[in-house]
A and B are shown apart, each in its own frame.
Chain A
């Protein structure tokens, strides 16, 4: 459904993404891993429209979306969460999700109904009338996920959702993401540092290093891949 064709992004003299081509198939969970500075978040920003590539093309369901702004890309069915959470802090939890649902809903009543349904699913129902800034980090991450899911995306991009969560919170969030993947039939593109989660959930893993794809394959293949191990741990002497 999503295809990147020879994508390159250069910031000044620094090449963040170099000649990257990849495909994301429908209804899969694909993970992108790589050391810090490998260009993962840049890649997300390119796909979601916050940055424009220096060259190359992004095609979604057969349509080029390379030059569209984020709101138009969301209308096509791609949305993301941010590495540093960005809920609408001074709005109520419910209103945050309603704004997401208004992406497709005809009326605010319809949007509110769906938002309540999503809040139930992510377990924030009891906090629906609280302001977003009163939630814990784990709560804010759930809220941001709920807001993104409320737009009814076909492709959901999650940028390090596990970062900053403890083990229990992380486990719950992971279960939630799996259930969203199944219930909403949404394709998921992951950036994640917590490797055991990546290994467990992903259908396919793409490894980036210095903006280039150095490996791609199933979790089993990647865990054996020599280049990947070198990128993370350095060369064996």
Chain B
């Protein structure tokens, strides 16, 4: 994939006031990323008028697409990603998850550290749950993950404390494939006691994030991260989660995407 295209994808994702829903729509309208930046303002406005996206957002896009500052930031992100060994997997990439196709609010670009091989797996299973889990929760998480590995399915989780960490650990111990979706840049390990786990996940599986490298975790990134866990999984196992926990947002996204959800008890 040529550098210019990647830079344009990054520009699209970092523009202010525009989210993944807009990114997906504009790509649809224009056809591909190069077109997004080459078609004249009038033509884009005309096409967009027929679609659901707000005119205000199209204008914001047109204002920013030739912005020098946005371009510089995008190039900086690209060089930073290169420096920290992060792959940028875009919408056009063969590694871009098939499971994202047809979903409106998934990112058009992913920052990946490790090997993203989700498309090679027929089945993918998300295991999510409480960070402050019980001893039983821990065992359930491990057993579920071990079963999943035996079925030759990928394990998706969020590398958070508790259930998530046990799911990843069991996947790695069982030589399974596991993906950790992070609520920070893919080069940042959070929480920090998972440093070893993070390194091991990268060796055999991957960590991915929709946030550019160097972005530190923020509380409102995690519900966003949760929707990606749901989008990547065919089936979600929920363990030990409280009524108003963050896991709830994973489940809601899962329902929206039509994923199978099972509460392990």
A binds B: no
Task: Enumerate chain B interface residues (CB-CB to A < 8 A).
Answer: none
